[in-house]
Structure 1
Amino acid sequence: MHTPDRLFEPISQHSFQDETLLQLALTHSSCDRASGDNQRLEFLGDAVLDLVVAEVLYNKFPQADEGALDRCRASIVNGKSLARVAQSKGLGKYLEVSDAHRQHQAEPSKAMLEDALEALIGAVYLDAGLAPARQTILHLFGDQIDAIELSAGNQNPKGKLQEWSQKHHAGEVPRYQELPAAGPDHDRHYSAAVFLGGKELGRGTGSSKKAAEAKAAAVALEHLK
């Protein structure tokens, strides 16, 4: 089946020069085609994804040690996170599988979606190099990367809450909302609420917006215990 690259733009944010790479990234091994499937591209894309995320985190947290950086990277590139991103972008409707496999399993499994997403990254890398692959990765995972907070080995309340949410909510990250501040200008008290999956988990107040968010995260962690 011919798949125009323009249909894939919302996912990859990349216009392929070599469309066969895009088609290969979307071909599951069950198709058993002479032209191949997406497994080799998945292997390559996995390595590119690890490299780019590691580089971004290295620059984002210059004081973090190796262990903290590794935990942050793992929270982004784990299977649940990849499957969640693939599902949110509708990747499954583009994935080609054999008729026999589709009869057995009508919808792509999470593992198939993970592989296809990494294969797509590998295809972008082969088609145009590291810079476009990096742009694709930041498009797909930028929100998660931006949401990471790191302090004292990623053990601050916001970091702990994010680790919990990504583990128990398929890679989803908490969202913080600023609430109206109170007090005179010289003694302002800031407030914030934290949400996960549209549900409020806690509220907090502090002398700064960051302090209020940290307090809200701490309250949420107490409620989750």
Structure 2
Amino acid sequence: MMKFLGKLTSSIKRKGKSASSRKNLPKELAEFERRIGYHFSNPELLNQALTHPSFHEHKKQKPNNQRLEFLGDSILGAILSEKLYHLHPEIDEGALSKRKAVLAQGSTLAQLARKLNLGSFLRMGASEKKNKGNERESTLEDGLEALIGAIFLDGGMSAAKDRVLSWLGEFNSELDNSHIKFNPKGQLQELVQANRPDDKIRYKLIKESGPPHDKTFRMRVTIGESEFGEGEGRSKKEAEEKAAEEALLLLAKDEHNAPRGKSSRK
């Protein structure tokens, strides 16, 4: 797989235009390169990775980051798969897939994008920017995948792998709570039934935002009469899962692993 991707990179480089000069690189792009720890031989790839579809919404032939997002998604999957394969020789394919799903899920990628301050450098249409589209989780996730795709085309698999694993930082710590992040609603249900069988878990929609084609939902979870977490996602189901994750992490701090009193989270 890696050899094939390497050949693909070389082929694309041969067919593409020669690397753009860095002499006229805008200051904001140079600043973002410092943030991500990678300098592009062809800065146009970076520029494209940071171009949201809304920036050229009335110019169909103008490039945006959607194709790079498609590529970056596959590259990210290959990097994570290889890393997990070597990191956990003792677990089977099913368990590896679950851990990969945790690391590649939208909330993880969006959080990583926020650490890189990617949203501040995205080029967007005026209306999208006014609606704070650069803060939307789905936009940040797509932008990060596009960035990975751009680095892959510019520097190959080695460069993409180096950056992704560097951004993830303490890789093992990201996996420590994977058992919580996989089916969090089910685990929360089991925990509450075992400790407080008379309490009911309820999920309530507290906010809905964004255009019809790209909505964001925020849900709150209560256990009995107490509020234990909130979560945001592209769907109500995803938002409920995030809320359940937060509740589980909060309950994990309780030495008895049981709801007691009202949470301070409103």
| Band of TM-score, shorter chain | 0.5 to 0.7
Across the aligned residues of Structure 1 and Structure 2, the Cα RMSD in angstroms comes to 3.2
Q: Deviations over 1:184-223 (max 9, x none)?
A: xxxxxxxxxxxx69x98156xxxxxxxxxxxxxxx5xx23
The code of the aligned residue for 2:44 comes to: T
Distance (whole Å) between structure 2 residues aligned to residue 82 and residue 224 of structure 1: 30
Structure with more relative contact order (C-alpha pairs < 8 Å, separation 6 or more): 1
Q: Which runs of 5+ in 1 are unaligned?
A: 150-157, 175-195, 204-218
Which shows bigger deviation, 109-118 or 26-35?
A: 26-35
Pick aligned residue for 2:121 from 89, 94, 99: 94
- Normalising by structure 2, we get a TM-score of 0.57
Is contact 1:25–1:38 with CA below 8 Å preserved after alignment? yes
Q: Deviations over 1:84-130 (max 9, x none)?
A: 11122211100000123223x13422111111000000000000000
The equivalences for 1:1-225 within 5 A come to 2=26, 4-32=28-56, 34-103=61-130, 105-108=131-134, 109-149=136-176, 160-161=179-180, 163=182, 164=184, 168=242, 201-202=253-254, 222-223=257-258
Poorly superposed stretches of 4+, deviation over 6 Å: 169-172
Q: Tell me the secondary structure at the aligned position of residue 253 of structure 2.
A: strand
Q: How many residues align?
A: 176
- Normalising by structure 1, we get a TM-score of 0.67
Counting aligned pairs with the same residue, the percent is 32
Is contact 1:46–1:122 with CA below 8 Å preserved after alignment? yes
The code of the aligned residue for 1:201 comes to: K
Distance (whole Å) between structure 1 residues aligned to residue 171 and residue 151 of structure 2: 21
Q: Which runs of 5+ in 2 are unaligned?
A: 1-24, 185-228, 232-240, 261-266
Which shows bigger deviation, 158-167 or 16-25?
A: 158-167
**Equivalent residue, structure 2, for 1:187:** none
Distance (whole Å) between structure 1 residues aligned to residue 50 and residue 179 of structure 2: 36
Is contact 1:42–1:119 with CA below 8 Å preserved after alignment? yes
Q: Per the alignment, do residues 143 and 168 of structure 1 end up closer, same or farther by CA in structure 2, a change over 3 Å counting?
A: farther
